[in-house]
């Protein structure tokens, strides 16, 4: 695996899940406002397709750590802001929610791509580190610099806020062993270094 791997837009089709988006908006069938949101769907989806530049940047650090940066690019948030500025709140809310749903699609897809990438070297994903929950030391700002070589418009604040907002950052640890979890597996004695479940009690207790 290269130190820097980039998956471009061809790996992340811009196809927001209509029912999922409406579910996130709590815009159920039969609501009085549902027709207004359905009428705005095509415009919002078109705006998303024009603004989104989905890509994943994976930085390898050492033998057992990857940093993954997912982004829709710098143009989605300004497109949302412009719709709100024009007081086109329905389209703006739709575009905002669509972009979030697309980002989570990318998250799921990135796991598949990572698994394939690691599998070529006989490695497996051991654990996932989230910046919001893990120690700040796990994500020093210097770790973001290689990402900026691909996405120069991206930045990470000292508080851990990513710009552009429609982005996601997480880390994964790697292992030479696949997760051996079964109902009788004792996580506390597992050889998977970095897996957070190693602190868990034996699952068979």
Partner 1 sequence: MDQKMEGLLTAALLRGDRDAVLSLTAVAERDQLRLCKNSVLHGLTEGCLKGEVPFCQLTAAAQAAAALEDGALPPVACCGAVEGNTSATGQHFLLMLLRAWGMPALDLGCSVAPDRFLDAVAEHDFSFVLCTLFSPKDMESVRRLDAEARRCGLRDRFLLVVSGAEPGPDSPADFQSRSAAAAAEWVVSRWRS
Footprint on this chain of partner 1 (rule: CB under 8 A): 25-28, 31-33, 35-37, 77, 80-81, 84-85, 87-90, 92-93, 96, 132, 157, 159-161, 163-165
Measured from the CB atom, the residue of 43 and 186 that comes closer to partner 1 is 43
- CA 107 → CA 85, 110, 169, 170, distances in Å? 30, 5, 10, 10
Minimum CB separation of residue 69 from partner 1 in Å reads 16
| 6 strand-pairing partners | 57
Residue with tokens 């640890």, as numbered in its chain: 173
Minimum CB separation of residue 88 from partner 1 in Å reads 7
Alpha carbon distance, N-terminus to C-terminus of the chain: 39
Strand 4-7 and strand 55-61: pairing? Answer: antiparallel
SS3 6: strand
What SS3 string covers 142-172?
HHHHHHHHHCCCCEECCCCCEECCCEEEEEE
Measured from the CB atom, the residue of 72 and 174 that comes closer to partner 1 is 72
Minimum CB separation of residue 174 from partner 1 in Å reads 29
Minimum CB separation of residue 165 from partner 1 in Å reads 5
Measured from the CB atom, the residue of 17 and 176 that comes closer to partner 1 is 17
Measured from the CB atom, the residue of 97 and 192 that comes closer to partner 1 is 97
């Amino acid at each position: 695996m290269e130190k820097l791997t980039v998956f471009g837009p061809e790996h992340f089709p811009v196809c927001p899940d209509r029912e999922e988006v409406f579910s996130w908006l709590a815009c159920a069938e039969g609501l009085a406002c549902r027709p207004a949101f359905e009428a705005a769907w095509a415009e919002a989806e078109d705006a998303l397709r024009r603004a989104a530049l989905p890509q994943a940047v994976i930085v390898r650090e050492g033998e057992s750590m990857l940093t993954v940066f997912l982004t829709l690019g710098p143009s989605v948030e300004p497109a949302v802001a412009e719709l709100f500025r024009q007081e086109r709140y329905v389209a703006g809310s739709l575009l905002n929610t669509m972009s979030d749903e697309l980002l989570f699609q990318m998250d799921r897809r990135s796991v598949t791509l990572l698994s394939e990438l690691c599998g070529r070297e006989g490695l497996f994903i051991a654990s996932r580190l989230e910046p919001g929950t893990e120690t700040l030391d796990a994500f020093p700002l210097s770790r973001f610099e290689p990402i900026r070589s691909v996405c120069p418009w991206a930045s990470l604040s000292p508080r851990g806020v990513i710009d552009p907002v429609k982005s996601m950052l997480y880390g994964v640890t790697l292992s030479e062993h696949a997760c051996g979890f079964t109902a009788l597996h004792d996580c506390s004695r597992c050889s998977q270094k970095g897996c957070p479940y190693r602190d868990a009690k034996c699952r068979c207790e």
